[in-house]
Amino acid sequence: MMSTRTAHLPEVTDETFAEEVLRSEVPVLVDFTADWCPPCRMVAPVLAHIAAEREGTLKVVSLDVDRNPATQAAYSVMSMPTLVLFRDGEPTRSVVGAHPERRLVEALGLEETR
């Protein structure tokens, strides 16, 4: 069964994280999420819209923390959803919780990724 979240965003795993996120040529917004998390489901359509608007200049992916504990631990993610923006393989900004699109774009500094 496909979750709402994966219907909108490509999923990365502990195994694919380095290739898909750390070695990406464009900034990557990672949605650390879980199927049991209601705020995660609330933010999924917002993230899908951000991804569609910035296709080619920003990659947006999700990582299920229950199935990928190594990456969750490596970045000390304790609350879901946590959104982390990676540039050149380094986490540069993060936001915890579900927020309106404008707030996410401002907090993560995504204005220049259009």
Question: Residue 23 pLDDT > 70, yes or no?
Answer: yes
In 10 A of CB 8, how many CB atoms? 18
63 among known catalytic residues? no
Domains, the chain: 16-103 (3.40.30.10)
Instruction: Name the catalytic one among 28, 30, 37, 61.
Output: 37
Confidence of residue 111 (pLDDT cuts 50, 70, 90): confident
With a pLDDT cut of 70, the percent of the chain lying above it is 93
Distance of alpha carbon 97 from alpha carbon 54, whole angstroms: 21
- The torsion region of residue 15 among left (phi > 0), alpha (psi -120 to 50) and beta comes to alpha
**Digit-coded pLDDT (tens) for 38-78:** 999 999 999 999 999 999 999 999 999 999 999 999 999 99
For residues 78-103, average pLDDT:
97
User: Which SS3 state, helix, strand or coil, does residue 108 take?
Assistant: helix
For residues 23-52, average pLDDT:
96
Distance of alpha carbon 37 from alpha carbon 35, whole angstroms: 6
20 among known catalytic residues? no
